[in-house]
Amino acid sequence: MSGPRILAVRLDSDGDVLMTGPAIAALRHGPDGVRASRLDVLAAPPGAAAARLLPEVDDVVVADVPWSGYHPPAPDPEALRALVDLLRQGRYDEVVVFTSYHQSPLPMALLARLAEVPRVVAACDDYPGSLLDVRHKRPGNPDGTGGEHEVVANLGLVLATGRAVPEDPRMALRHPLPDLPTDLLDELGPDLGEGRCVVVHPGASVPARAPLPDVAAAAVAALDAAGWRVVVTGGPGEVELAARVRGVARRVVDASGRTTFGQLATLLEASAVAVVGNTGPAHLAAAVGTPVASWFSAVMPVERWAPFGVPVVVLGDLTAPCRLTRAQVCPTPGHPCLDVSPQRVVDAVAALAAGEVPVPPPAAPIDPRSAVPAGAEQAL
Q: Would residue 31 be called left, alpha or beta, if left means φ above 0 and alpha means ψ between -120 and 50 degrees?
A: alpha
- Rg of the chain over all Cα atoms, to the nearest angstrom: 21
Given this model, what pLDDT does residue 369 score?
43
Residues 302/295, Cβ–Cβ less than 8 Å? no
Q: Which residues of the chain fall below pLDDT 50?
A: 364-365, 368-380
63-88 tens-digit pLDDT:
999 999 888 999 999 999 999 999 99
pTM of the model: 0.94
Crossing angle of helices 14-26 and 150-160, rounded to 10°: 30
The predicted structure's pLDDT at residue 193 = 86
φ and ψ at 199, to 5 degrees? -85, 130
Euclidean distance between CA atoms 56 and 40, whole angstroms: 9
Provide φ and ψ at 70, rounded to 5°: -75, -25
Q: Across the chain, what does the average pLDDT equal? A: 92
**pLDDT given for residue 368 in this prediction:** 46
Pairing type for strands 134-136 and 120-123 reads: parallel
pLDDT of residue 362: 63
